[in-house]
Structure 1
């Protein structure tokens, strides 16, 4: 009997403005002829949606975010799963994990898996998790409860903040795992003992949404207070994005240099950063735009002169992989100044397609920004080179094709 090809995709939250790369992948897979059902562990918290979310046809189902909020649903699911022969094996795996990670989060993931297994759509025959931490835990337990195969897309935080034993167990259980940077790929491959089931697959961009920018940016050089250089950054106000370092760097720029800083994104540290900008004396030159829809961000890419992102490795090990916003900015010929963390050098080569500095170094970042602010000709050269790299190497169609082939190979092997 041929395998059922409809895939249940497990996400931490959906839809999310900060995870456009996942949404465009889902849409790409649908357009490639793969049927999807989306299952989210959390309901949306963003007030806006990207247009891509409205184009995805897959139905969306939400599991209980906290088990105590829907106790009857969880109990009913337990009673459905308990008599099944697969329950003992799934519970054994969960209990072994719980002994090494005795947390409410671990218990919650098994409870969510029970609900997903009990409410399983009959026409689906595969599970795929986005992120190798909590979504993969729910997916793995569900695969054991249902006796179905599963696969995983690992990204950044999930790789670097998960315990090695947890990742290794998931890598050995999943049919295959893809990740989006060379650094993440090498780390996972090591944990998987060199297994060929770990694959590198850059997200890329839907270049139809980020078409060629035909405009000409004014040759601003920071010499006119009436026409300042516009510096843009897009990202949540969280530790790994390094916005405190960026604000310090902006405060170190020469006083005679005319600039404005535009920030896009929400985040827990936003109010603290606003206060920090006040303390540094630069608040009048900073605009906090909050979270914006994709089309609004695109217009900011096109009106800005420089894009910057001061990524770092956070105190808990969290870090970016290759931030999609850097790829988006580069696609619009916007010169990028960033740090040499994780997968960023896989897109930006210092002095060729961008400018890179060490993380947590506001003086080095200030020097780099001043260098790029004062030289509009350099900005054109860097922006043009970065755009060429994106359009040759980061078209998301190649990633969609790779994922479709991986699914097809598994399905053909099962027939």
Structure 2
């Protein structure tokens, strides 16, 4: 890397393409942006959706990067496509007209590719074209034109390798600006999100790809051996913010009523129904405790959990709470005796990578229990810094919870090892530095190429 290259907010910038910003459940992205800025990387954020009713974490106030919200396109499912086009194309027409004037050949090539993709990636031979690619092309054109007008965006980076990365790929083809992406969980494994060979195509065209677990890294390398270089970078955590003194942890163990905590979006892959069943088993055994499940999410999953809690007669034991900010969550962790998250692989392939709440709990010196799927064993070493049980097994989950509730010495052993594990490999100051180095090397290379081009003239 050229040491003379310095990145500032007025110089070379990364255009971050997100489906929604700031999203309460995506603290790892918000923290990543905050730390990259702190490390001197210039950023511009493009948010496809303008989110309403979100709880913002305190760190959002520290981010100074400009945020551009795209024109809000209607949902494709709410009307006929012809009507959708009439209602939504005008929102993007000015940007596309300007873009066509600047780069007509590139524009026509990408538009043709968009149409081909909409036919190529249909769900069946006799099915209608996939209209979402037209929507993403319109959105990409808006970003591409904005990037060309700004003149200082030299790289696009998208989070999640389905919609946001499709937009980044189109914007890259329209402008010649390279792109990369971070792949996380269901965006990797659900075929309907990247039908056919679409994910492989993105991997071949990207400058590089990042993913948050070794399990994901292995899968992506097998999927596209000749694709972009895959970099495993764990989601980092502010270990200073998520900390709990030894004395506070010790005092917590002396509480009369143990608190079993679980945190996450109320979606199927979190396995909360198995946690509720485990609580019912423990109640039958005469164990007295309180279980708190914290997090908003899917209304259908929430309704099923409410019914299950009632059917199993654990309404006096299990309580559901809505989404909270990081600051509120820290206080909740301080009251927890045990943290349990029974993650599972859904029938359609959806799964977690390494849930951030597990890292947060371990950093807060709360003993953790989870399942031995996906990237979770990369964080939790069974019987060393936490406990692992098989997925979809309420009996095993109940046994593990009971073991920790009854053994204070084991809890203390696990929490110290857990805190050490997080500080060693999941501190965001270290993990974000790895990402920053990737961006800096790309921007430096591109700056050198631009400098040589300009010198040639």
TM over 0.5: yes
Kept in 2, the 8 Å contact 1:340–1:359? The answer is yes
Confirm whether residue 98 of structure 1 aligns to residue 98 of structure 2.
no
Equivalent-residue separation in structure 2 for 1:288 and 1:383 (angstroms) = 25
Q: For 1:297, which of 319, 329, 337 is the aligned residue?
A: 329
Partner of 2:236: 204
Q: How many residues align?
A: 410
Equivalent-residue separation in structure 1 for 2:268 and 2:252 (angstroms) = 33
Bigger Cα Rg: 2
Partner of 2:92: 74
Q: Alignment partner of 2:67: what SS? A: strand
Which stretch of structure 1 is more off in the superposition, 21-30 or 361-370?
Answer: 361-370
Partner of 2:152: 123
Task: Give TM-score scaled by structure 1 length.
Answer: 0.94
Q: Alignment partner of 1:119: what SS? A: helix
Give the Å deviation of 1:180: 0.6
Matches within 5 A, 1:54-69: 54-66=61-73, 68=84
Matches within 5 A, 1:29-68: 29-66=36-73, 68=84
Give the Å deviation of 1:281: 0.5
Give the Å deviation of 1:216: 3.2
Gaps of 5+ in 2: 75-83, 122-128, 449-457
Confirm whether residue 281 of structure 1 aligns to residue 342 of structure 2.
no
Partner of 1:216: 249
Q: Alignment partner of 1:186: what SS? A: helix
Give the Å deviation of 1:413: 2.4
Equivalent-residue separation in structure 1 for 2:250 and 2:88 (angstroms) = 54
Distance 1:351 1:397, change over 3 A: same
User: Deviation digits for residues 341-381 of structure 1, max 9, x if unmatched?
Assistant: 11110000111111111111111111111111111221111
Matches within 5 A, 1:200-279: 200-214=232-246, 215-218=248-251, 227-253=256-282, 254-268=284-298, 269-279=301-311
Give the Å deviation of 1:235: 0.3
Partner of 1:22: 29
Task: Give TM-score scaled by structure 2 length.
Answer: 0.85
Equivalent-residue separation in structure 2 for 1:403 and 1:58 (angstroms) = 17
Which stretch of structure 1 is more off in the superposition, 405-414 or 2-11?
Answer: 2-11
Root-mean-square deviation (CA), in Å? 2.0
Give the Å deviation of 1:70: 4.3
Equivalent-residue separation in structure 2 for 1:196 and 1:7 (angstroms) = 18
Q: For 1:399, which of 431, 443, 449 is the aligned residue?
A: 431
User: Deviation digits for residues 43-62 of structure 1, max 9, x if unmatched?
Assistant: 22443110111111111111
Partner of 1:112: 139
Q: For 1:324, which of 337, 352, 356 is the aligned residue?
A: 356
